[in-house]
Homo-oligomer: A and B are copies of this chain.
Amino acid sequence: MPTVEQIQQILEPLFPGLMGVRLVTLEPERVVAELTVRADLCTAGGILHGGAYMAFADTLGAVGTIINLPLGKRTTTTDSSTKFIGGARVDTTVVGESVALHRGRTTMVWQTTIRSAEGKLCAVVTQTQLVLDA
């Protein structure tokens, strides 16, 4: 399994790097990361943009799938659905934890829960990853 540092290095030049996603934990059924709520990740009113929640979560679910792929396979997200529950204010940090609900041969399903640093629930994102021949 790749290390946190190896995956972080892959993410850096990509969209998660632009956003400042910081991987913290990488386990076969669980991925954790942090995100600082910068002003340029916000919507009006100084709260984290809904799209930033979704992009943050999408990254975690995809990373979780990739570290579970058999050799010769690749993955693509087919579906993602999000419940927005609470706002996260600028200059705070949110923590995303993605857990595998299902790791099958054809699809994997990951659910990411995003919380404020104080543990307040902000959003829940559930995504389906299709497993395809590479």
Contacts and interface: CB of A to CB of B under 8 A. Distances in A.
Contacts of A49: 14-16, 55, 58-59
Interface in A40-75: 40-44, 49-52, 54-59, 62
A42 B15 contact: yes
A98 interface: no
Give the oligomeric copy count: 4
Interface in A73-106: 76-85, 87, 101-102, 104, 106
A107 interface: yes
B54 A58 contact: yes
Interface of A: 10, 13-18, 39-44, 49-52, 54-59, 62, 76-85, 87, 101-102, 104, 106-107, 109, 111, 121, 124, 126, 128, 130, 132
17 contacts: A15-B41, A50-B62, A51-B54, A54-B55, A79-B79, A79-B81, A79-B84, A79-B128, A83-B102, A83-B128, A85-B101, A85-B102, A107-B130, A109-B124, A111-B124, A126-B126, A130-B130
